[in-house]
Structure 1
Amino acid sequence: MSQHVHPLKDEAAEKSFKLRSRPWAATFLLTGGLVALVLGLGLSVSFGAKAIPLYTVWQAVFSFNPDVTEHQIIQELRLPRVLGGAMVGACFAVAGAIMQGMTRNPLADSGLLGLNAGAGFMLSLCFAFFPGLPYMYLILYSFLGAALGTAIVFGIGALARGGLTPVRLVLAGAALSALLGALSEGISLYFRTGQDLAFWYAGGVAGTKWPQLKIMFPWVAAAIVGAIVLSRSLTMLSLGEDIAKGLGQRTKLVKLVCAVIVLILAGSAVSVVGAVGFVGLIIPHLTRYLVGVDYRWIIPCSAVLGSLLVILADLAARMINPPQEIPIGALIALLGVPFFLYLARNERRSL
Structure 2
Amino acid sequence: MRPNCLILGLVLLLVLGYFSLYFGARTIAPAVIWQALTRFDPHNSEHLLVCYLRLPRTLLAMVVGAALGAAGVIMQTLTRNPLADPGLLGVNAGATLAIVLSIALFNVSDVFSTMWFGMAGAALVSIAVLLIGGIDGNNPVKIVLAGAALTIVLLSLTQLVIINSDTQAFDRFRHWVIGSLQGRGFDVLLPVAMLVGAGLLLALAGSQMLDIAALGSDTGQALGVNPRWLVAMSALIIVILAGAATAAAGPIVFVGLTAPHFARAVAGSQHQALLPWAMLFSAVVVLLADILGRVVGYPGEVSVGIMVALIGGPCFVWLVKRWQGGRV
TM range (shorter): 0.7 to 0.9
Instruction: Tell me what 1:286 maps to.
Output: 262
Instruction: Tell me what 2:14 maps to.
Output: 38
Deviation at 1:114, TM superposition (A): 3.0
Whole-Å separation in 1 of the counterparts to 2:111 and 2:27: 31
Q: Which amino acid aligns with 2:160?
A: G
Instruction: Tell me what 2:231 maps to.
Output: 255
Instruction: Tell me what 2:105 maps to.
Output: 129
Instruction: Tell me what 2:165 maps to.
Output: 191
**TM-score when scaled to structure 1?**
0.82
Deviation at 1:74, TM superposition (A): 0.5
Q: Which amino acid aligns with 1:202?
A: I
Q: What is the DSSP-based 3-state SS (H/G/I as helix, E as strand, rest coil) of the residue aligned with 2:108?
A: coil
Q: Which amino acid aligns with 1:123?
A: I
Instruction: Tell me what 1:312 maps to.
Output: 288
Change (3 A) 1:149 1:335: farther
2:199 aligned residue (203, 223, 240): 223
1:102 aligned residue (64, 78, 103): 78
Counterpart check, 1:118 vs 2:94: yes
Whole-Å separation in 1 of the counterparts to 2:60 and 2:36: 18
Change (3 A) 1:135 1:50: closer
1:57 aligned residue (10, 15, 33): 33
Deviations 1:66-88 (A, max 9, x none): 12111011112111111111111
Whole-Å separation in 2 of the counterparts to 1:123 and 1:273: 12
Deviations 1:173-219 (A, max 9, x none): 56644543342233234232101110011111012111111222211
Deviation at 1:61, TM superposition (A): 1.2
CA contact (8 A) 1:244 1:251 kept: yes
Change (3 A) 1:147 1:66: closer
1:89 aligned residue (51, 62, 65): 65
Q: Which amino acid aligns with 1:258?
A: S
Counterpart check, 1:69 vs 2:45: yes
Instruction: Tell me what 1:10 maps to.
Output: none
The aligned length equals 321
Q: Which amino acid aligns with 2:42?
A: P
Return the index of the structure with the highest Cα Rg. 1
Q: CA RMSD in A?
A: 2.9
Counterpart check, 1:47 vs 2:52: no
**TM-score when scaled to structure 2?**
0.87
After superposing the two structures, state which structure 1 stretch, 58-67 or 103-112, moved more.
Answer: 103-112
CA contact (8 A) 1:43 1:54 kept: no
Change (3 A) 1:349 1:143: farther
Identity in percent: 34
Deviation at 1:294, TM superposition (A): 0.5
Change (3 A) 1:260 1:274: same
Q: Which amino acid aligns with 1:39?
A: V
Deviation at 1:36, TM superposition (A): 1.1
Q: What is the DSSP-based 3-state SS (H/G/I as helix, E as strand, rest coil) of the residue aligned with 2:87?
A: coil
Instruction: Tell me what 2:305 maps to.
Output: 329
Whole-Å separation in 2 of the counterparts to 1:195 and 1:260: 32
Q: Which amino acid aligns with 2:158?
A: S
Trace 1:236-275 onto structure 2 (pairs within 5 A).
236-275=212-251
